[in-house]
Structures are given as structure tokens and as C-alpha cells.
Structure 1
Amino acid sequence: MSFVVQRFHPLIRPGVHLGAARTKHAVHSQQSRLDSACVMHCLLMVLQIAGVISDASSIAIRRRRIEAMLWRKTTEIFLKGMTFSELATFIADLDCKAHTKLLERGSHRSAVTFIEHELAREQLVICSWREVGTLHNHAVLAIGASGIAYNQGFKPSALLLLDPAEGPPTVMGTCNAQLDYASWNGKLRRYATYKTANETLFVVLNGAISVAVREPHEPTR
């Protein structure tokens, strides 16, 4: 007998508002439609979930070194965006005991394999996708996967995502976007289906970076 389940990163806490174990604030960080800071929004969510910062929305008024660095970098890349290799270098400079694993550019299939593997290792993964027929890349944060559970196994077929360009998850919501990349029997589709509350797109994954904090952090006040 098999049934559909959702498996989240162990620090994610579904509830009335999607939260995390190491912060009392909602973890979704929303991006403006006018900027190109999606990568930084995703990093802010990762750091909040890991307890490195307490509230992503307050970095502009904080004076701690790490918040100051985050705010300065956000203003630098606000209009031009940021590559995943640039992000990996920046995370190393933050000195927050985090390490990264990078798939800068890859095929849709290699990106799916990389993301599945990193989620299975309980890492948070920032993913990049582009809509079919366009060249624009968009970054989102993978916090879990949905798929079929059978016996002691689990076969994922969709990513559960926090998209900074969308509104926060609804009450009792576990994500604000979902990327379906495989059929129920595990066969990879040519194009993934990207679903939010407002639209459905055909997309391909083309890159990813996993971020892991080596030691647990207490929330920064």
C-alpha cells in the first residue's frame, strides 16, 4: 500500500504560519517584483531557519556584523542579481559556520538528482529554474519534497518551495509553490510544472546550491 506524504527539512515547523525551530517569526521573505534579489531572499530564509538571524525583515536596522553584511550585499545586487558561485563565496565570508555544495549550471535531470540527494541529507537547497521559452532565471528555496511512501521507502516527485516573489504561505500552508517534476511512478517529465496560488508554468531546473550550518545556533535577538 502506498500513499502521498510530505517530508520537510527537520527545522521546518508547519502550523498556522510556516515557521522554524530556531525562530519565532514566520520564515518566508518576500521579494519585490521590481528587484533581482531572489537569491538573497532565499539566503535570508536559510539563515533564519538555521537560527543565524532571527528575523529576515529586520536586517536593515540591525548593527551586528552579519546583518550589516547581509544588508550591504542585498543593496549591491538589488538590480543585477547574483550567481550561485558568488553566493557560495559570500556565505564563506559571512563566517557563520555554514558550508555549501554547488551545482552552478546543469541539465534539468542533473539538477533534480542533486536536489533530491541534498534534501535526503536534510540540507536546505536554493534552486534555480527558468520558464520554458525564456532565459530569465529565478531562485526559490526547497524546504521539502512530496512523493509516494511505500514500505520503508520514499520516492519524491515534487519540491515544496518558498518562492520569495510570491506571498507567504496561507494559514496552515506548508509552502507557497510546488514544482512537480516526475509522475507518480517516478518517471521524470521533460518539463516540470510550477504551481503557485496565482499561476501554473512549465519550467526546467538549471542549478542549485545546498547550505548547511555546521553547528546549531540559538536565535539572534
Structure 2
Amino acid sequence: MGFVIQRFHQLIRPGVYLGAARSKHAVHSQQSRLDSACVMHCLLMVLQIAGVIDDASSITTRRRRIEAMLWRKTTEIFLKGMTFSELATFITDLDCEAHTELLERGSHRNAVKFIEHELSRERLVICSWREVGTLHNHAVLAIGASGIECNQRFTPGALLLLDPAEGPPTAMGTCNAQLDYASWESGELRRYARYTTASETLSVVLNGAISIEVGQPKRPP
């Protein structure tokens, strides 16, 4: 008999307010409805989880080099957005000891395989999806997976996500969005993934991802 379980990245601290292992601040970074900075919001959450920054909302006032670079880049891409290859280059420039693996563009099936593999390596993954019938891409942060465990074997079928365009993860508890990409009964990949938030359900396809290895948690500055 199998059981549905959720597996989170080792640095995630589930609770009333989803947090990071060494931070007293909630992890979620809220995106406005007017900007295209979802990729940067996801990066801010990664860096907070890793302890590189203490609070994503403080980058506008802090004078440390890394916060200054993050704020400057956010203002640069606020309206036009950012590709994953540009993000990989920017992370290298931050010199924060983070390592990336990139799937700039790929089929839905290849993106699923890439994300599953990188999550199994204890990496955080920023992934991109688009709603079926549209061309707009949106970036979200995968912090874990939900799936069936049977005979000590875990078979994932959904991504547990922090979506910067959604509100804090209170209604759904440990995340604010979930992307179901496989059938719970058969384990077969769905043609279209089901994307669920507290307020809506969409049919989407994954089309890119970048994984970030953050190493051992740092003590926030």
C-alpha cells in the first residue's frame, strides 16, 4: 500500500509561516501584478533559504554589495523580465558560492525529468511554465515534491511551489501552488500539468528550469 507524502528541500522549515532553516523571516517574496520580475523574486527566495540574505524585502535599504547588486538588477529587469541564461550569469557575478544547472528551453517531458533529477540532488529549482493556449511564461520556485511512497520507494507526481505572484503560503499550508504532472493512479505523465493555487486551477506546460545548489546553510548577515 502506498502513501502520499511531501518531501521538502532540507533547508525549508514548514510551519505557520514557511521559513528557512536559519532565518526568522517568512521566505515568500511577493510580486506585484504590474512587473515581470518573477525570476528575481524566485532568486531572492533561494538566497534567503540559503542564508545569503536575511530578508528579501530589505534589499532596497541594505548597503552590502550583494543586496545592492540584487536591487540594481531588479530595477533593470522590472518590466522586461529575465531569461534563465541571464540569471545563471548573474548568479555567477554575485560570487555567493551557488552553482547552477540550466535547461533554458525544453519540452514539457524533458523539463519534468530535469526538475525531478535536480530536486533529488537536494537543489532548489526555479522553473518556468506557460498556460496552455498562451505564450506568457511565468517563473516559480520548486521547494519540494509530493508523491507516492511504497516499499520505501518514492515516486513523485507533483511539484510543491512558491509562486511569487500568489499570496503567502497560508491557505495551502506548506506551499502556495502545486503543479501535478503525473497521474497518481498510473504514474504516467499528464499531457498537460494541473496548476493549482488557493484561487484557481490552470492547465500548463513546463518549458524551462534552472537548478541552484546552495551548499550548507549560511548564517544570515
TM-score, normalization: structure 1?
A: 0.98
Q: Residue 15 of structure 1 aligns to which amino acid in structure 2?
A: G
Alignment-derived partner of residue 107 in structure 1 = 107
Alignment-derived partner of residue 122 in structure 1 = 122
Query: Alpha-carbon deviation of 1:218?
Result: 1.0
Matched, 1:97 2:97: yes
Alignment-derived partner of residue 60 in structure 1 = 60
Query: Alpha-carbon deviation of 1:180?
Result: 0.4
Alignment-derived partner of residue 219 in structure 1 = 220
Matched, 1:144 2:174: no
Cα distance in 1 between the residues matched to 2:170 and 2:139: 20
Cα distance in 1 between the residues matched to 2:195 and 2:122: 23
Alignment-derived partner of residue 45 in structure 2 = 45
Unaligned runs of 5+ in 1: none
After superposition, the Cα gap between the structure-2 partners of 1:171 and 1:130, relative to the gap in structure 1 and judged at 3 Å, is closer
After superposition, the Cα gap between the structure-2 partners of 1:172 and 1:199, relative to the gap in structure 1 and judged at 3 Å, is closer
Given that 2:21 and 2:217 are in contact with CA atoms closer than 8 Å, whether structure 1 keeps it comes out as no
Given that 2:171 and 2:198 are in contact with CA atoms closer than 8 Å, whether structure 1 keeps it comes out as no
Alignment-derived partner of residue 2 in structure 2 = 2
Given that 2:27 and 2:48 are in contact with CA atoms closer than 8 Å, whether structure 1 keeps it comes out as yes
Given that 1:167 and 1:176 are in contact with CA atoms closer than 8 Å, whether structure 2 keeps it comes out as yes
Query: Alpha-carbon deviation of 1:215?
Result: 4.4
Between 164-173 and 116-125, report the one with greater CA deviation.
Answer: 164-173
Query: Alpha-carbon deviation of 1:216?
Result: 3.4
Given that 2:50 and 2:216 are in contact with CA atoms closer than 8 Å, whether structure 1 keeps it comes out as no
- Once the two structures are superposed, what CA deviation does each residue of 1:128-169 show, in whole Å capped at 9, x if it has no partner? 000000000000000000000011100000000000000001
Cα distance in 2 between the residues matched to 1:16 and 1:122: 23
Cα distance in 2 between the residues matched to 1:33 and 1:203: 20
Alignment-derived partner of residue 203 in structure 1 = 204
Query: Alpha-carbon deviation of 1:89?
Result: 0.0
User: When the two structures are aligned, how many residues end up with a matched partner?
Assistant: 220
Which runs of 4 or more aligned residues in structure 1 lie more than 4 Å from their structure 2 counterparts after TM superposition? Answer: none
Query: Alpha-carbon deviation of 1:116?
Result: 0.3
Query: Alpha-carbon deviation of 1:171?
Result: 6.3
Alignment-derived partner of residue 180 in structure 2 = 180
Given that 2:172 and 2:198 are in contact with CA atoms closer than 8 Å, whether structure 1 keeps it comes out as no
- Once the two structures are superposed, what CA deviation does each residue of 1:103-129 show, in whole Å capped at 9, x if it has no partner? 000000000000000001110000000
Cα distance in 2 between the residues matched to 1:101 and 1:193: 25
Query: Alpha-carbon deviation of 1:16?
Result: 1.1
Given that 1:16 and 1:172 are in contact with CA atoms closer than 8 Å, whether structure 2 keeps it comes out as no
Q: Provide the alpha-carbon RMSD of the alignment.
A: 0.9
Q: Residue 10 of structure 2 aligns to which amino acid in structure 1?
A: P
Alignment-derived partner of residue 27 in structure 2 = 27
SS of equivalent to 2:17: coil
